[in-house]
Amino acid sequence: MTTDLSAGPVDAFIELDRVEKVFDVRKKTGFLRSERRQVRAVDSLSFTVPRGEMVGYIGPNGAGKSTTIKMLTGILTPSGGRLRVAGIDPSRERTRLARRIGVVFGQRTTLWWDLPLIDSYRLMHRMYRIPDARYRENLDRCVELLELGELLDVPVRQLSLGQRMRGDIAAALLHDPEVLYLDEPTIGLDVISKARVRSFLRDLNAERGTTVLLTTHDLTDIEQLCRRVMVIDHGRLMYDGPLTGLHEVGESERTLVVDLERELPPVEVASARVVKVEGPRQWLAFPASASAAELVARIAAQYPLVDLSVREPDIETVISRMYEEKALS
């Protein structure tokens, strides 16, 4: 018999208590010889996510993010610890859980490559046994908000990356999941597609209260969507809190790129320093926790500013600075 805790307290919709995942790996060391090694992909990982929260889950390559998501969907069984999603043990009741979760892997598609988009949706309608009215309603909503109308009859292989991603997000939502795992949903997308995907996710979370766990290398995704971010490295939780706190912990810097009307000596402005000059373009580093708008206003008041952009530090840089800070403290 299984115990369904979903009717219990709502504070912990996703619950991990000292979860571990160890892989046995064989490495060839000679013609007929191999060595067995253990890789601890997830190491005593504990956290909870309340229903309706949108959380960023970040870390460098090989940190254990995908392994965590695979355990949360029930694809992988933990080697130790306790894990529950909506009160369900994912690896024991994978099919029951599948009705309540949606998954989008940015680098892979769940759609049928040779079929028009709408046929993939029809197949999912049957596979998940989604009631007709609910399927219609969810499909119509996704088609409208993700602007899929003109794409429904196009075979998936002919879609651009951004179109395919929107198609995949709709596919993950047709059965009204309560929780959505997104693995790099904006990878390789242009600025407009990224903005569209982000605004859709924000609305979904606000209107439907869908719990979202978002893995990304793009800190702007996190900045625009998540109040809370968890950083994992070597399978361990390194940080759990607001993104601004992460910047403070890592003392990271953002870069403001300004295009001036003409070539000028390095800009002189408080709380930023010029790190590169190329003709009329200058790069200024400033503390990531400071306001870019204030800095831009100060520069615009003194210099002939034509154009600008802000570059976020990449996650690897933020995390390596976090380590440096820890080593020094």
Ligand X SMILES: Nc1ncnc2c1ncn2[C@@H]1O[C@H](COP(=O)(O)OP(=O)(O)OP(=O)(O)O)[C@@H](O)[C@H]1O
Closer CB to ligand X, 56 or 64, in the complex: 64
Options 2-10, 60-68, 258-266, 319-327: segment touching ligand X (CB under 6 A): 60-68
Type and span of the H or E element at 133:
helix 132-145
Residues in the chain: 329
Torsion of CA 298, 300, 305, 310, to 10 degrees: 50
Out of 3, 4, 62, 325, name the contact with ligand X by CB under 6 A.
62
- Minimum CB distance to ligand X, residue 107 (Å): 9
Task: Please give the C-alpha separations between residue 142 and each of 14, 173, 185, in angstroms, as whole numbers.
Answer: 25, 8, 16
Options 56-64, 264-272, 277-285, 311-319: segment touching ligand X (CB under 6 A): 56-64
Task: State yes or no: residue 39 binds ligand X (CB under 6 A).
Answer: yes
Out of 30, 32, 61, 95, name the contact with ligand X by CB under 6 A.
61
Task: State yes or no: residue 66 binds ligand X (CB under 6 A).
Answer: yes
Task: State yes or no: residue 101 binds ligand X (CB under 6 A).
Answer: no
Tracing tokens 């904006």 back to the chain, one arrives at: 186
- Minimum CB distance to ligand X, residue 250 (Å): 18
Torsion of CA 284, 278, 311, 184, to 10 degrees: -150
Out of 47, 53, 55, 67, name the contact with ligand X by CB under 6 A.
67
- Minimum CB distance to ligand X, residue 24 (Å): 8
DSSP characters for 236-255?
EEEEEE-HHHHHHHHT-EEE
Options 57-65, 124-132, 143-151, 167-175: segment touching ligand X (CB under 6 A): 57-65
CA 245-70-317 angle, 5° bins? 30
Closer CB to ligand X, 35 or 144, in the complex: 35
Task: State yes or no: residue 65 binds ligand X (CB under 6 A).
Answer: yes
- Minimum CB distance to ligand X, residue 39 (Å): 5
| Alpha helix stretches (DSSP H) within 156-314 | 161-173, 191-208, 219-225, 243-250, 292-302
Q: How far apart are CA 83 and CA 87, in angstroms?
A: 9
- Minimum CB distance to ligand X, residue 254 (Å): 22
Task: State yes or no: residue 23 binds ligand X (CB under 6 A).
Answer: yes
Q: How far apart are CA 202 and CA 210, in angstroms?
A: 10
Task: State yes or no: residue 64 binds ligand X (CB under 6 A).
Answer: yes
Task: State yes or no: residue 318 binds ligand X (CB under 6 A).
Answer: no
Out of 16, 19, 63, 148, name the contact with ligand X by CB under 6 A.
63
Contacts of 324 (CB under 8 A, 6+ apart): none
Contacts of 3 (CB under 8 A, 6+ apart): 87
Residues 239-268, one symbol each (x = binds ligand X by CB under 6 A, - = not), give ------------------------------
Closer CB to ligand X, 63 or 101, in the complex: 63
Contacts of 140 (CB under 8 A, 6+ apart): none
Options 54-62, 87-95, 201-209, 308-316: segment touching ligand X (CB under 6 A): 54-62
How many CA atoms does the CB half-sphere of 20 hold within 13 Å?
A: 11
- Minimum CB distance to ligand X, residue 40 (Å): 8
Nearest Cα residue to 84 out of 181, 178, 7, 4: 4
Binding residues for ligand X, total number by CB under 6 A: 12
Residues that bind ligand X (CB under 6 A): 23, 25, 39, 41, 59, 61-67
